[in-house]
Amino acid sequence: MAKTGVKNSEVKLAIANRGEVAVRIILAAQELGIPTVLLHSEVDVGTRAYRMADEKVCIGPATTADSYLRIDRNIEGAKAAGATMVHPGFGFLSENADFAQACIDAGLIFVGPKPETIRALGDKISAKQLIEKANVPTVPGYAGADQSLETLVAHAQRIGYPVIVKAAAGGGGRGMKVIRSKAEAPELIASAQREAKAAFGSAVVFLEKYLDHAKHIEFQVFGDFTGRCVHLFERECTVQRRHQKIVEESLSPSLTPELRAQMAAAAVGLAEKAGYQGAGTVEFLVQDGEFYFLEMNTRLQVEHPVTEMVLGVDLVKAQILTALKAFRIWKQSELTPRGHSIECRVYAEDSYNRGLPSTGELLGLHWPEGPGRRYEVGFEAGDEVTAYYDPMIAKVIVWDEDRPRAIRKMLRTLDDSVIFGVKTNLPYLKAILSHPDFVEGTMTTQFISKYFPEGLESQEPTEEMTQFAQAAMKMVDAGSAGAVGSGRTIETPWAQGWRFV
């Protein structure tokens, strides 16, 4: 970093987000000496970010459409608290050009690229047109303005099944469906349009040929306020369920140096053409040694920590300082990756019942500390995982000298992580990390549907576990164990007898 602090005491950062990314941004701001304002919904007073922020402004009820997705309320909240800049995090309004513009119009610095850049790249249809001009290969598809069901079905037929339908304004798996036959095309396209409308306010979708043994590999790029761009190498995010990433790593175990160089050049080329400023990610699918542009995310990425771990950088501080024109980015030659980093997304969902979401109060949390372990957590014990938002509880990140060691470290770390109160995907994550295809690094985006389509098989407790629980029960009965339920009772319709969660 060219500068480690911000001396301007008149800087104040509003955070238009929640959960673990709000915590991440607050931590970065604290280190920079910048006070923070959290723009939060009514229910999110029970979160870690709320307790950490210097100031808080409630911008509406729990429903995202009435709070986190409301441009006007976020701007009003930021202005009311005297903020001078806004960090949108990821999801919500982070890729909304209108929001970026509204910030600027209100005299606020938007931490991210210029609105026109977001408009050109954030919309997947125009991004594809842009990248075609930049001569980067794309997947065959349809990205036309005619959004009638008949036209979309006809194009799906022309492209040839399997075809994937996606929300033009979206990300994170919402509004995405794989169509495998003509028979299911109308239903799935209509469903994708509804999800797109509900999640992003726009029902516009596009179609693509679905590559069925591809890897998802993305390049982190960063542009500074002078227009210079660098890449921060790649992340492989091939392990996905319903197009939502679960396990991410850097570097990818799948790229040859030649392919890496080609893809990096394509990513930087696109960012430079777009006049990109700040952190962005260029996503590709890689199959049979060929790469295809997927989309560009004009924001910080959920999985940014693995990049930070292998390169020793702080992307969030770099974002804030770039927005303040206080940071000239790294030279490409300064960016040398070392070791291997893996991130696991810990979700409140049932590993033994098709990954269905689980909600409730977090009765206990323990994150085992150790060298090369990092946790991004938005909750503390006593907080509630609600059905209003993404069911992610935490991100667990590890770094070690090489990939096999990083996998072993992650397995041990997940073993020692304790989450009480909701069912979690911890057993599922461990099964993924132990699978030969993952260990070999040969997994494709079909990994989950191929090996774990219905989650895991339920298990019987071991003798040891049974005795442990019986001993614990006795201590509770004797009144010697803490936190015996005195508050309200959580609904536990599934807790009959023993459950492996």
Partner 1 sequence: MRIIEIEVNGKTVKGYAVMRGGVLWTHANGETWTTETGSKRRGGKAGGGLSQNPGEIAAPMPGKIIKISAPEGTVVKSGDVIIVMEAMKMEYTLKAQASGYVSEIRAQAGDQVTLGAVLAKIAVESEKK
Q: Just list the catalytic residues.
A: 299
Which amino acid belongs to residue 265?
A
- Nearer Cβ to partner 1, position 294 or 429? 429
Contact assessment for residue 247 and residue 432, using Cβ atoms and an 8 Å cutoff: yes
* Residue 320 three-state SS: helix
Work out whether 350 is an interface residue with partner 1 (CB under 8 A).
Answer: yes
233-252 residues near partner 1, rule: CB under 8 A: 242
CB of residue 252 to partner 1, shortest distance in Å = 27
Tokens at residue 383, please? 């907080």
Q: Which stretch binds partner 1 (CB under 8 A): 6-14, 39-47, 300-308, 364-372?
A: 364-372
- When binding is defined by CB under 8 A, the residue of 364, 370, 404, 453 that contacts partner 1 is 364
93 binds partner 1 (CB under 8 A): no
Angle ∠(196,201,204) on CA atoms, nearest 5 = 50
Pairing of strands 340-347, 55-60: unpaired
Q: Which is nearer to partner 1, 145 or 484 (CB)?
A: 484
Q: Report the residue from 80, 381, 431, 439 that binds partner 1 according to the rule CB under 8 A.
A: 381
Minimum Å distance from CB 52 to partner 1? Answer: 22
**Binding of partner 1 at residue 114 (CB under 8 A)?**
no
CB of 446 to partner 1, least distance (A): 19
Question: Contact with partner 1 (CB under 8 A): which of 3, 356, 370, 434?
Answer: 356
Of 422-441, which residues contact partner 1 (CB under 8 A)?
424, 426-427, 430
Q: Is the dihedral of CA 380, 40, 321, 273 positive or negative?
A: positive
DSSP letter for each residue of 51-62? HHSSEEEEEE-S
Distance CA 414, CA 355 (A): 18
- Characterise 441 by phi-psi region: left (phi > 0), alpha (psi -120 to 50), beta (else): left
Residue number with CB closer to partner 1 (154 or 198): 198
Q: For residues 261 and 481, which CB has a smaller minimum distance to partner 1 in the complex?
A: 481
- Whether the CB-CB separation of 182 and 189 falls below 8 Å is answered with no
CB of 271 to partner 1, least distance (A): 29
Minimum CB–partner distance for residue 152 and partner 1 (Å): 17
Q: Which is nearer to partner 1, 146 or 416 (CB)?
A: 416
Cβ-Cβ contacts under 8 Å for 440 (sequence gap 6 or more): none
Both structure tokens of 216: 């998802």
Touching partner 1, residues 171-200 (CB under 8 A): 173-174, 187, 191, 194-195, 198-199
Cβ of residue 475: shortest distance to partner 1, in angstroms? 7
Q: How far is CA 19 from CA 11, 232, 286, 395, in A?
A: 23, 25, 32, 11
By beta-carbon proximity to partner 1, the closer residue of 227 and 461 is: 461
- Fill in the per-residue mask, 132 to 171: x = in contact with partner 1 (CB under 8 A), - = not in contact: ----------------------------------------
Q: Is 345 in the site for partner 1 (CB under 8 A)?
A: no
Other CB atoms within a 10 A radius of the CB of residue 490 amount to 14
Q: Which is nearer to partner 1, 150 or 463 (CB)?
A: 463
- Where in 462-501 is the site for partner 1 (CB under 8 A)? 462-469, 471-473, 475-476, 481-485, 487, 489-490, 492-501
Which of these, 248, 470, 452, 438, lies nearest to 350 by C-alpha position? 452
- DSSP states along 346-403: EESB-TTTTT-B--EE--EEE----TTEEEEE---TT-EE-TTS--EEEEEEEEESSH
Binding mask 382-421 for partner 1 (x = CB under 8 A): -----x-xxx----------------------xxx-xxxx
Which listed residue (8, 129, 157, 458) binds partner 1 by CB under 8 A? 458
Torsion-angle region of 50 (φ positive above 0: left; ψ -120 to 50: alpha; else: beta): alpha
